[in-house]
Structure formats: structure tokens, C-alpha cells
Amino acid sequence: MSAEEDGRAVRVVIEGRVQGVGFRAWVVRRATGLGLAGWVRNRSDGAVEAALAGPAAAVEAMLADCRKGPPAAEVSRLSSEATGWPVGNGFEQRPTA
């Protein structure tokens, strides 16, 4: 069974005080530690957006972590939706979109 068949992939938008507080670097560290594939980036509207893919339990753990964020963050809203599997197996920080 492939990772795509055995796992979960979501697109996440995190709102609040999430830029300028190390949120993206924190997501990269946490996601890598959980063995997730995907990416994270700042959005021009002040939110942080990420694609997370991997074992369902690891994705759920990352979503729970993102609801809190790193110590300096103040997450006011998190929305997620199922998405296609991101290309590649690593996790990267992307430029602002």
C-alpha cells in the first residue's frame, strides 16, 4: 500500500498573529519530526498556509499543534480541507504567496 493510500493530505490556513513569530520554521521542524511531506508559506493576507501529508495520526497531531503554534503565536482560526498529495517526500518552506 502506498503512502497516499494509507495516509491523509490536507491544506491548512492558520490565522491570527502567525507571521513574524517563527511559525513557518516551527512548522518545518514539527512536520519533519512527524515524518510529514508538504510545505508551508506566509500568505499576503497575513495568514500561514500549509500542505500536510502523511500517516493520518501524524497529520492529526500536526493539526492539533498548529492550533496552538509556537510560543509567540496567537492562533485565532485554523481551517483545513482534504487535498491532493503534495509532490515529493520532504517538507519545505516556500516563499510568500
Q: Quick check: 50 and 27 in contact, CB under 8 A? A: yes
Q: Quick check: 9 and 53 in contact, CB under 8 A? A: yes
Give the active site residue among 11, 17, 24, 89: 24
Query: For this structure, is 42 an active site residue?
Result: yes
Host H or E run for residue 23: helix 23-33
Give the active site residue among 11, 42, 67, 89: 42
Catalytic positions are: 24, 42
